[in-house]
Amino acid sequence: MTNSPQQVGRTRDEMAIRLAQDIPDGSYVNLGIGIPELIAKYVPEGREFIYHTENGLLGMGPSPESGLGDPELINAGKRQVTAIPGAAYFHHADSFAMIRGGHLDLCVLGALQVSSGGDLANWSTGAPDAIPAVGGAMDLVAGVKSIYVITQHCTKNGEPKLVQACTFPLTGCGIVNRIYTNLAVIEVTAEGFQLIELSPGIDFEYVAERTGAPLLPLKDNTK
Amino acid sequence: MINKQLANAEEAVADVFDGATIMISGFGEAGSPIELIHALIDHGATNLTVINNNTGSGEVGLAALIKAKRVSKMICSYPRTANSTVFPKLYRSGETELELVPQGTLAERIRAGGSGIPAFYTPTSVGTPLGEGKEHRTINGREFVLEYGLTADFSLIKGRLADTHGNVLYNKTARNFGPLMAMAGNVSVIQAEHIVTPGEIDPEVIITPGIFVNRVVEIQKPAVESELIAAGVSYP
């Protein structure tokens, strides 16, 4: 039991592969910074997703080849990207109309904490000397149809990120639908955290012990 | 005859006054009107309130304006970026005030301000620290926060192509806040790589119609912020 909880279960890439399987063909998707970005590498065969980046591009493609980038063609993380055939550029009010107006199907975000009621904290630790910075996170969680969180189940210190109530400043209330971690796939329901699937080799007790709120076991009608 | 073209950036910002509110286009370096900002630094106006998504990088452009202590207040969504060292220092010492606004709310406040809409309700920030103390209202069973429109005395904006009537096209994701700030500025200034005569731009593709623009300046080869930073440039 010397492994840290972050080294158990799925790797970051395996988490991204698992989440990508649950995105329907033709979805318009916004991917946050970090593990969410990996999802674009693992689109299941036969499916097409259109990526939205809130700074003003629908149809975002991969990073450009070295030396072929344009400093004015970037993603929300300010990294150079490309535009796929059929892409569109637009200004910020249109971009956030897509977000707030419920036109995007899915947003995948990282998390500091998620509560059993679906509250998300992912923009600030609330440290007094920190420079507060929010970007588009609050708009995304307020407006996109489905919000999936992809995150390590615990912090580096082994503390649960899935909690009864968030202690960090909130990004939004009751907005998270599903959580994909290295240990499990969990749905946020009216009854709280509902286990949907365990990562290979992980048992229920192991996940429940590392979850900061009650975890409902797999239902009989789920595999 | 309408001709909004001025000779240079210096002329375009000559009447900026102390205490003015200035909108500056750009998301990071994409769409940042560096030459207009540098002209504003040279001009010397101070005690400015600046509205931009970020707070600049390195010691050029917006970061240089902040470093020169011309900015008493920043209104932005993300003042924490790689290479952003100038603002954090002045924020921590209390010399520069910060109004943090969610990015979509910032965009909509600017659009509203430029559209004659004094305020609007948005679901963004409900239940979070950024919604605290703001007027709330339940509409159709959902809670919303009241946010106020933003206008500016001057808007400084980077375009790609403009004509002398002030019609503007942008480059890729450098469009970001430009069209909104053009609407919300009492005096909106565009720097563009090329300025052409009216009729040369297809009316079907114009992004910012000239009525929103007061001044255009041709800056043929605008500086690239990341290149200036890589070269160690510190303005002035």
Judge whether residue A1 has pLDDT over 50. no
Distance CA B70, CA B22 (A): 11
Nearest to A99 among B80, B104, B174 (CB): B104
Q: Are B149 and B101 in contact (CB under 8 A)?
A: no
CB burial of residue B94 (10 Å; 0-12, 13-18, 19+): exposed
* Beta-carbon separation of B29 and A99 below 8 A: no
Interface residue of A53, A70, A78, A104 to substitute, partner B, most B CBs within 10 Å: A78
Nearest to A133 among B28, B78, B124 (CB): B78
Q: What is the mean pLDDT of residues B23-51?
A: 98
Q: What is the mean pLDDT of residues A109-118?
A: 97
Question: In order of start, what are the domains of chain A with their CATH numbers?
Answer: 5-41+104-216 (3.40.1080.10)
Judge whether residue A101 has pLDDT over 70. yes
Predicted confidence at residue A159, as pLDDT, reads: 97
Lowest mean per-residue pLDDT among A62-71, A111-120, B78-87, B197-206: B78-87
* Beta-carbon separation of B173 and A71 below 8 A: no
Tell me how many residue pairs between chain A and chain B have CB atoms under 8 A apart. Answer: 144
* Beta-carbon separation of A83 and B172 below 8 A: yes
Does B108 contact A at CB distance below 8 Å?
yes
Q: Which residues of A touch B179 (CB under 8 A)?
A: 91, 93
Does B35 contact A at CB distance below 8 Å?
no
Confidence band, pLDDT 50/70/90 cuts, at residue A151: very high
Does B199 contact A at CB distance below 8 Å?
no
Q: In what order do the strands lie in the sheet with B119-122?
A: B119-122, B142-148, B136-139
* Beta-carbon separation of B30 and A99 below 8 A: no
Judge whether residue A222 has pLDDT over 60. no
For B19-100+151-220, which CATH superfamily applies? Glutaconate Coenzyme A-transferase (3.40.1080.10)
* Beta-carbon separation of A136 and B103 below 8 A: yes
* Beta-carbon separation of A100 and B104 below 8 A: yes
* Beta-carbon separation of A139 and B104 below 8 A: yes
Confidence band, pLDDT 50/70/90 cuts, at residue A5: low
Predicted confidence at residue A129, as pLDDT, reads: 81
Predicted confidence at residue A220, as pLDDT, reads: 74
Predicted confidence at residue B225, as pLDDT, reads: 96
Judge whether residue A115 has pLDDT over 90. yes
Q: What is the mean pLDDT of residues A191-201?
A: 97
ipTM: 0.96
Q: pLDDT tens-digit profile of A30-81?
A: 999 889 999 999 999 999 999 999 999 999 999 999 989 999 999 999 999 9
Confidence band, pLDDT 50/70/90 cuts, at residue A2: very low
Domain residue limits, chain B: 19-100+151-220
Predicted confidence at residue B64, as pLDDT, reads: 97
Q: Are B188 and B213 in contact (CB under 8 A)?
A: yes
* Beta-carbon separation of B27 and A55 below 8 A: yes
Q: What is the mean pLDDT of residues B43-55?
A: 98
Provide the β-strand partners of residue A29: A51, A106
Determine the 3-state secondary structure of B161 from DSSP. Answer: strand
Instruction: Residue B187: name the closest of B75, B56, B51, B21 by CA.
Output: B21
Distance CA B166, CA A152 (A): 51
Lowest mean per-residue pLDDT among A32-36, A219-223, B3-7: A219-223
Beta-carbon contacts of residue A184 (< 8 Å; ≥ 6 apart): A9, A153, A195, A196, A197, A198, A199, A202, A207
Does B147 contact A at CB distance below 8 Å?
no
Q: Which residues of B touch A73 (CB under 8 A)?
A: 30, 172-173
Nearest to A56 among B77, B122, B176 (CB): B176
Nearest to A78 among B81, B88, B128 (CB): B81
Q: What is the mean pLDDT of residues A151-170?
A: 97
Q: What is the mean pLDDT of residues B50-64?
A: 96
Question: Residue B24 is inside which H or E element, if any?
Answer: strand B21-24
Confidence band, pLDDT 50/70/90 cuts, at residue A3: low
A→B interface, C-beta within 8 Å: 53-57, 70-74, 78, 83, 89-93, 95-96, 99-100, 119, 124, 129, 131-139, 142-143, 169-173
Judge whether residue A180 has pLDDT over 60. yes
Angle A83-A43-A31 from CA coordinates, rounded to 5°: 60
Q: Which residues of A touch B51 (CB under 8 A)?
A: none
* Beta-carbon separation of A139 and B105 below 8 A: yes
Does B85 contact A at CB distance below 8 Å?
no
Predicted confidence at residue A130, as pLDDT, reads: 85
Write out the catalytic residue numbers of A.
54
Q: Which comes out higher in pLDDT, residue A97 or A2?
A: A97
Confidence band, pLDDT 50/70/90 cuts, at residue A6: low
